[in-house]
Amino acid sequence: MNTQTHRRGWLAFLAFAGAITGLPLRAKAEAAQPKLLLAQDYKPGIDVARYLVSEKLDGVRAYWDGVKLLFRSGQAIGAPAWFTDKLPKGQALDGELWLARGKFDELSGIARKTLPVDAEWQRLSYVLFELPGGAGTFAQRFEALKGIVQRANWPQLRVADQLRVANDKALKLKLAEVVDSGGEGLMLHAAAAAYTTGRSSVLLKLKPVADADARVIVHIAGKGKHQGRMGALLLRTEDGIEFKLGTGFDDATRSNPPPIGSTVTFSYRDKTPSGKPRFASFLRVRELP
């Protein structure tokens, strides 16, 4: 049997096994990651009047490629057909699946299921905040998104509210209002920006405590009360900075730590001169299957 025939046979077996078990048996490597716009941290001194400001939702990033709803990793989200049938065919959308403030863990559990539960998905919203490949400025794309939502006429499809703030004082008041109500923080998107992808200063995140993502490269064994469990994670940021993360974990996470190669989100207060985060604490596993 030649290599090509063997590969076709193996893929056919995976497709058959996946159909029988409902499990995603295709290798993760086969999923193409969508190119998304990623935020930088807000820094004082910018002209906030140049930005449109929205609440930073604690949701699951979801990219609609016009056919399928995808996680940030590129893996398909197991959304029910009635949910995706409401989305515009052939039109890419970028947003987040959202349940409510402070409900990320519950939302994540719903979105992870290979076999969706209709009653759970009826509670979710798909909140749009970008029109991939759209022409014009972000302010113009925001208006286009509002038109898409209006035409869909479906309460579960929404566009993130965007507003202008006049100055830093108004921005801080808005941040306090959102955080006091249980929100995470704010997103600032340059109103005049053309569509772009990658980590860019056209999109900024503002939170009382900063957060960031890093990849797990080593599990460090625990000592003392954590003997026999994970004591810390050795992480590597996208800038190549490596550091140990040892706080913020509950007992269940220490007993079943995030896999090597997975990406986690952590909070921190500031950074050392060498770029390592200070007072870092684990928040959650970011990547979804």
Our CA dihedral for 51, 134, 93, 177, rounded to 10 degrees, sits at 10
| Identified catalytic residue from 43, 56, 223, 276 | 56
Largest Cα separation within the chain, whole Å, is 70
Tracing tokens 């409900």 back to the chain, one arrives at 103
Tally of CB atoms within 10 A around 85: 10
Q: Is the dihedral of CA 61, 65, 69, 71 positive or negative?
A: negative
* Residue in 177, 202, 191, 204 with CA at minimum distance from that of residue 49: 191
- Is 205 known to be catalytic? no
Q: What are the distances in angstroms from CA 168 to CA 44, 96, 130, 153? A: 8, 27, 24, 36
Active site residues: 56
